[in-house]
Amino acid sequence: MTTKVATRISLPYEQICKKWNITRFEVFGSVLRNDFNRKRSDVDVLMTFAPGAVIGWDFFGLPDELEQIFGRPVDLSTRRSIEQSPNRIRKQAILESAQTVYEKDEELLVDLLSYAKLAVRRARGRSQDELIMDKDLQSLLIHPLLVIGEAAKNLSVEFR
């Protein structure tokens, strides 16, 4: 039986993921099961870094930072390393049980939707002639469309 990770642990996922350029943060293992022990269990984490992210020596500070926040040991892996693992049984067990707790694509989609709704609200009830003639209205409509275009560029290749 699995449990939503949010009821077991709390972490400022968005803040951590932005700082470390992580586009997807997942947990697996005992933190999702009934055998999770709040005092002794470690937290197993899968991360996916943004394409082109430069992972330098600073990366070695990430486990310490997460351990300090979680208040327990953290076992870090990248999703890519698990996907490329020759141990097929372990790979399948981890990937099938992993629970995504942060994904950048979801955040971007919320932004896309909110700006699309803004553009629709601004254009609603206007005729085509009004839209063509009113330069201020055009500017008001163009801004949300530009934001949508920029956000769409940041969606992961897998998501597109």
Q: Which one, of 143, 142, 141, 147, lies nearest residue 110 by Cα?
A: 147
Q: Which CATH superfamily is domain 5-103 in?
A: Beta Polymerase, domain 2 (3.30.460.10)
**Among 1-5, 76-80, 104-108, where is mean pLDDT lowest?**
1-5
Q: Of 65 and 34, which is predicted with more confidence? A: 65
Q: Residue 16 pLDDT > 60, yes or no?
A: yes
pLDDT tens string 123-148:
899 899 988 898 888 888 888 787 77
Look-up of token digits 């163009």 = 142
Q: Check residue 1 and give its pLDDT.
A: 35
Q: Residue 103 pLDDT > 90, yes or no?
A: no
Domain ranges of the chain: 5-103, 106-153
The identity of residue 34, as a single letter, is N
Q: Check residue 54 and give its pLDDT.
A: 73
Q: Residue 40 pLDDT > 80, yes or no?
A: no
CA distances from 47 to 107, 120, 147 (A): 16, 36, 27
